[in-house]
Amino acid sequence: MRAAFFDVDGTLTTARVWQGLMDYFRVHNLRRTTHLFFWLYHFPLYLLRRMKLISEGSFRTPWAAHLAWYFRGYSVEHAEQIWEWVVAERLTDYWRADTCRILQEHLGNEDLVVLVSGGPLPLLQHIGKHLGTPHVVGTSLETRNGKYTGSNLEPICIDENKANLAKAYLAENMLAVDLDNSFAYADSTTDLSLLEMVGFPVAVYPEEDLRIRALEKGWQIYPPDE
């Protein structure tokens, strides 16, 4: 079977999924203290990344991990309204029509389409439902007695963990995929392992570091340069 692996943020959307999550809490006037601590923790890392003193992965991994803080104490059932709101109210205007069309073409060709993102797995499941694929790989949130604890189940779906978790998902679900004949679509150097995993990697609206790497490796860039 042939597969097509899609990153979400920057690849299928023009906005970051985390922005939609934070918008939910801002609009509903919730988790203001959590939001303050989140930015106090991450703003110094943001500055270090801008100065190229830490890698993109060193910045994005704790960022993705600490999104779990926002859901601490929510029951799994209660949190459903958060995931639904983000997809229905915030992502509606931010889908990339062209790359979503490529995804639909893969579905039409009966390829296995898998979303692979650092975002919270329950949210990705809702995004997958919206796009027509049940196959999603993301960062799992820890639960205890039916409530989110504010922590994650390791590993965070960033950098080399993207390929590792995608392969683990295929194995766990007994999905026999010909990776050499498969595709991957992504926009960041934190997606390199996912792109290197397949025979047909595509750098989609790539950030500059990934564009340089894609040119060096002879990978397809989408949209193609003029």
Instruction: Please write the tens of the pLDDT for every residue from 130-182.
Output: 999 999 999 999 999 999 999 999 999 999 999 999 999 999 999 999 999 99
Question: What CA–CA distance (Å, rounded) separates 130 from 42?
Answer: 31
What does the pLDDT read at residue 226? 56
Question: What CA–CA distance (Å, rounded) separates 160 from 169?
Answer: 14
Q: Where are the domains of the chain?
A: 3-222
Strands 147-153, 112-120: pairing is unpaired
The strands making up 183-186's β-sheet, listed across from edge to edge, are: 147-153, 136-144, 112-120, 3-6, 183-186, 200-204, 220-222
Question: Using an 8 Å Cβ cutoff, are 188 and 64 in contact?
Answer: no
Question: What CA–CA distance (Å, rounded) separates 64 from 8?
Answer: 13
Question: Using an 8 Å Cβ cutoff, are 1 and 173 in contact?
Answer: no
Task: Point out the least confidently predicted range of 53-62, 94-103, 162-171.
Answer: 53-62
Supply 98's token pair: 């062209």
Tens-place pLDDT, residues 173-221: 999 999 999 999 999 999 999 999 999 999 999 999 999 999 999 999 9
Domain 3-222 listed as CATH 3.40.50.1000: yes
Question: Using an 8 Å Cβ cutoff, are 172 and 153 in contact?
Answer: no
What does the pLDDT read at residue 15? 85
Question: Using an 8 Å Cβ cutoff, are 121 and 142 in contact?
Answer: no
Question: What CA–CA distance (Å, rounded) separates 84 from 45?
Answer: 30
Question: What CA–CA distance (Å, rounded) separates 201 from 49?
Answer: 26
